[in-house]
Amino acid sequence: MAQHPRTSETETTPTTGRNNGLTRRNYVRSLAAVATAATSLGAAGTAAADDDYEVIEAEGQTISIDSGETWENKLIDMTTGQDIIVNAHGTDWTIRNVGFKGENTSGTGSATFGISDSDPSGSSTVENVYLGDGTDSRNGSSSGHGQTAFWVDPDHAGHIDFENVNIQGFADNAIYASAPGNAGGGTIHIDSSFAANCYVSHFRLATEGSKVTNSSVYVDDSGYQGRGIWAWAPGTVEVEGCQIEMNGHNVAIDAGANGNPTEVLVSDTDYDEVAGIGENAGSTVELEDDVGTDPDAFIPDGVPRSPEEAASGN
């Protein structure tokens, strides 16, 4: 079960706001037309009509991905009202071309994906994944904790690349990858990805060598209003080429937590000046000269806009 314990990472300043259904507003700009691309069919499940991806109906099952395996071209049907959990551990694994159709439903303290790379010299990959339909109204609690999209296990010791990932409307962190900072020490690179209207935070990192590049965060009044990027100790965390549009909600870049400081290096990025920057417990956020305060969040090229587009591997 991809549970994420919170005993070592306590959320101290949750925000308010419930997701009543995301609206496609002007933050989704310059959308390309959805093309059709044929890719290989998966090994199990129900084949889609055009035979370019596998449809898996959520039935409360857990799928495990082991070292060296590639799990790709899957459309996960969440309209069943059931849940599904995907665990990927070991090393040199790949999750690619996966789209979730319908709202995720699992309860407080769980995650859709539980992942780690156990080899300090190893590397694994998450690319072209759509989790843009969010979580349903049952997902959450009075403390603000609900389902996380990606939970990176504390034992993560290697490296994980995220690329072309779309996460919206989750009741907890979009990518919760700070736990290895106090344990396995593995690194995370989030590139060319989009996260919007999630709770607690959108991109949450902690280890030196971890970074967010060429990505956007968007928050409005329609969903959960979590931090843009949250850097935990020990760091240093890098932010480069990003647009963090918060519309005045929460904190755009937050550094440090639970009495532990960290450092964030920010370059070629625009952030919401009203939401601002948080420097906690002696943390520092260093802004290069090319950092501005007029963000214009967008979905980067290559990021899937629908479950079907992700699953078919456009």
- Tell me if 303 is assigned to some domain: yes
227, part of any domain:
yes
User: What is the chain's length?
Assistant: 314
pLDDT confidence of residue 55: 98
- The sign of the CA dihedral 270, 148, 109, 3 is negative
b (16+ CB within 10 A) / e for 8-29: ebebeebbebebeebeeeebbe
Residue 209: both structure tokens together: 């060598």
Give the separation between CA 74 and CA 167, rounded to whole angstroms.
16
Per the domain annotation, does 36 fall within a domain? Answer: no
Give the CA distances from residue 160 to residues 89, 93, 282, in Å, rounded to whole numbers and listed in that order: 11, 10, 28
Q: Tokens 């479950």 correspond to what residue?
A: 307
Q: Is residue 24 situated within a structural domain?
A: no
Query: What pLDDT score was predicted for residue 43?
Result: 32
> Is residue 10 included in any domain, yes or no?
no
Flag whether 117 is in a domain: yes
**Residues 260 and 180: beta-carbon distance below 8 Å:** no
Number of domains in the chain: 1
CA 266 to chain centre: 19
Specify if 254 maps to a domain.
yes
d(CA 131, CA 22): 12
- In-domain check, residue 175: yes
Between CA 284 and CA 277 the distance in angstroms is 10
Cα distance between residue 15 and residue 226, in whole Å:
7
Q: Digits of tens for pLDDT over the chain (314 positions)? A: 334 333 334 433 322 222 333 333 333 333 322 322 323 323 334 444 445 999 999 999 999 999 999 999 999 999 999 999 999 999 999 999 999 999 998 765 689 999 999 999 999 999 999 999 999 887 876 556 789 999 999 999 999 999 999 999 999 999 999 999 989 999 999 999 999 999 999 999 999 999 999 999 999 988 799 999 999 999 999 999 999 999 999 999 999 999 999 999 999 999 999 999 999 999 999 999 999 999 999 999 999 999 999 999 97
Angle at 104 between CA 306 and CA 144, to 5 degrees: 120
Residue 228 is part of which domain span? 56-312
Whether the Cβ atoms of residue 145 and residue 108 lie closer than 8 Å to each other: yes
Residue 83 tokens read as 């849940």
